[in-house]
A and B are shown apart, each in its own frame.
Chain A
Amino acid sequence: MFHRAVRILASFEWSVIWDNRGPLWDGFKSTMKAGVVGIVLAYAIGLALGAVRAHRLPALNQLAATYVELIRNTPILVQIFFLYYGLPVLGIHLETFTVAWLSITIWGGAFMTENFRAGFEAVPNRLREAGYALGFSPLRAFLNVTLPIGGRIALPSTINTAISVLKNTSLLLLIGYPELTYVANNVQSNTFRTFEMFTALAIAYLAIVWTLSALIRFLERRLALPEAL
């Protein structure tokens, strides 16, 4: 038993990771490129539509709710395929990279909308009324009262969504976007060093995800509201 374990351990060739550092680094950069664009745009969508939902702006509210429910209740992989294979039928031809960031943006935007809506709705009305009493316009009241407080409440859950957006970039392998999982999967199928390659891949993802999770815990402590509202 012990000898077999030693033999298996000795058979690993970790050099396969160093030997393929060029492609792996390119894959990491592609993951980050799609991920960062997706996260930034998802935050923008979430802030705008979260405000629309929390303030129940007529018509726009219903549109935003439909968007959120459509995205939350269908698998993201189906959304990706729909954009990649379905849209060209309508004469809309998108590059792989465009589908890559667009699909995770649309998905993340729906979840960010819910995060920010919950945050904005948690801001008590009397704080906004205090703003109006000081002569704030509705927009100023949103920017100066609802956004800073509600945004702070929503922040940890939005980072969770951002982590999910980043993890979802791995699905882009299935439309041939050369991100990290795609490259690692290629290397392992060429070299048969499956265990080594996927271990390295898992460590890479966990390093990113755990760093962001630590950031959530840090922010939760730093931004904890001093008193119950």
Chain B
Amino acid sequence: MIPDWFRPIAEYMLREGLPETLRLAAIALIASVLVGVLLGTLMTLRFGPLRWLIRLYVEVWRGLPILVTILFIYWLPGYDIGPWHVQLNAYMSAALALSLWGSAQVAEATRGAVQSIPKEQHEAAAALGFGWTSRQAFVILPQALRRLLPPMVGLLVNIIQNTTIAFAIGVNEFLQAGTRQFENVTSGLTGQVAPSYAPFAIFGFVALVFFLICFPLTRLAAYLEKRLT
């Protein structure tokens, strides 16, 4: 079924590249949700300067192409923060750039979700003697997070797809793994002769694997969306 020349390539991609992609996506997702929910909740405060600062954060990281953010972070020279010398490697640069972008998306979605909770909920919780923090933590956010679930699944799909941009700085994610193997094959390093349709097959395989991961997730997001309304 699988031609001989393709088997080592596919195995390498699935063994080396795919875990890297999924790990990068997991790091970015967790960081995005943690930072994003916090910033989004703070954005509903009435304190102007804080709101403007978070708004600036959101608009900058949402507005920049992710590739530009990744290159910017990656090519910055190392610098000292107190006693530590900070120099991000490719993997950390990509994780940071994806998290900045993702947390901006989550912050904006959280703000919308929190503001969509009726005012009566705030008032009822206040009447029961909840302070601001416990009101947010026990009354508002649990409801808001349920509304956030479909967009979060959508965000996961976007993050998984956007990990491919880390290709640009040499992170060995799934697309990079495929390309490296493609170069090995065409330069004859693997000792096997690849047919002329090799690039077609390899990039088709990359697309197929991404599709198999992302399609169920987009269906899930659509299903959650429908069940909520």
Give a binary string over B51-83; 1 marks a CB under 8 Å from any A CB, 0 the rest. Answer: 000000001100111011001100111000000
* Contact residues in A for B84 (Cβ distance below 8 Å): none
Task: Confirm or deny: A69 has a beta carbon within 8 angstroms of a beta carbon on chain B.
Answer: yes
A77 touches B164 (CB 8 A): yes
| Measured CA separation A85–B121 after assembly (Å) | 56
* Contact residues in A for B211 (Cβ distance below 8 Å): 70, 73-74
- B residues contacting the other copy or chain, number (CB 8 A): 36
Number of A-B pairs, beta carbon distance below 8 Å: 105
Task: Confirm or deny: B167 has a beta carbon within 8 angstroms of a beta carbon on chain A.
Answer: yes
- A residues contacting the other copy or chain, number (CB 8 A): 38
* Contact residues in A for B64 (Cβ distance below 8 Å): 167, 202, 205-206, 209
Task: Confirm or deny: A195 has a beta carbon within 8 angstroms of a beta carbon on chain B.
Answer: yes
Which one, B68, B167, B198, B218, contacts A202 given CB within 8 A?
A: B68
Task: Confirm or deny: B206 has a beta carbon within 8 angstroms of a beta carbon on chain A.
Answer: yes
Which one, A87, A194, A210, contacts B75 given CB within 8 A?
A: A194
Give the dominant DSSP class at B's interface: helix
* Contact residues in A for B132 (Cβ distance below 8 Å): none
* Contact residues in B for A77 (Cβ distance below 8 Å): 164-165, 167, 175
Least CB distance from A100 to B in Å reads 14
Residue of B60, B67, B157 with most chain A CB atoms under a 10 A cut-off? B67
- The 10 A-B pairs of least Cβ separation, nearest first, read A170-B65, A73-B214, A75-B161, A209-B63, A167-B65, A75-B164, A198-B72, A89-B200, A85-B199, A86-B200
